[in-house]
Amino acid sequence: MRKKSTILLGLLAAAILLSVSGCARETRLVQITIEPSSFTFLTRDTTLQVHFTALGRYIHPPETRDITSQVTWKADLPEMITVEGGVVSTTGNACGITGVTASSNKDTESSKDIVIGFASVTVNDPTSSVCPGGSASKAVLTVTFAGTGSGSVTSTPAGITCPSGACAAQFDKGVPITLTPTAAAGSTFSGWSNCSSISGNSCNVTLSGDATVVATFN
């Protein structure tokens, strides 16, 4: 009888160990948030830098940790800015608004599923008419995200292409802009804030100055 009990206890301990190990293997990255979500260089001075931090939110177990050194950083317009290890610098060759992304595999095992965080960077030069702040005929539209879900937003005319996070682009004042949401798998689009008008799921904006709209996904 004692021998049977010892065997049963051994089997139970092994099952618990396998369960804990299995849970550890299921550690899953579900969201990357870049802080700050946006930054503006007030000059094209190449000696200036800003440090971005990538925060990863995990499940199994739930936790949020700094993964700045573990993600892949990318600048959408490398002719405008460079980014390495979260450190962003201007190149001195261009100005405007561009995106910075931080991406990583979704879980601890090799995975094709990628999680992406997004931030926007503005490089300004008031002496240039093509730069934000340098033209009286243009304004900046910023899209931010709210809610517990995820998705993306694109614009017509082109300029805004946002994964969950935040992004911005410069448009001509007085020209109608349509923003279209697309919910990610497992999420739903819940609504807009700060639009000039709403048609179905689309947000319509006509800029008279800089503006920010909010897309909510749950």
What fold characterizes domain 136-218? Immunoglobulin-like (2.60.40)
* 193-214 tens-digit pLDDT: 999 999 999 999 999 888 889 9
Superfamily of domain 27-127: Immunoglobulins (2.60.40.10)
* Tokens encoding 68: 């700045």
Q: What is the pLDDT, as a whole number, of residue 132?
A: 67
Instruction: Inform me whether the pLDDT recorded for 215 exceeds 90.
Output: yes
CA distance 168 to 98: 8
Of 181, 183, 180, 179, the C-alpha closest to 171 is: 179
- What is the pTM (predicted TM-score) of this model? 0.58
* 45-66 tens-digit pLDDT: 888 889 999 999 988 889 999 9
Determine contact, residues 131/123, Cβ cutoff 8 Å: yes
Q: Where in the chain is the domain with CATH 2.60.40.10?
A: 27-127, 136-218
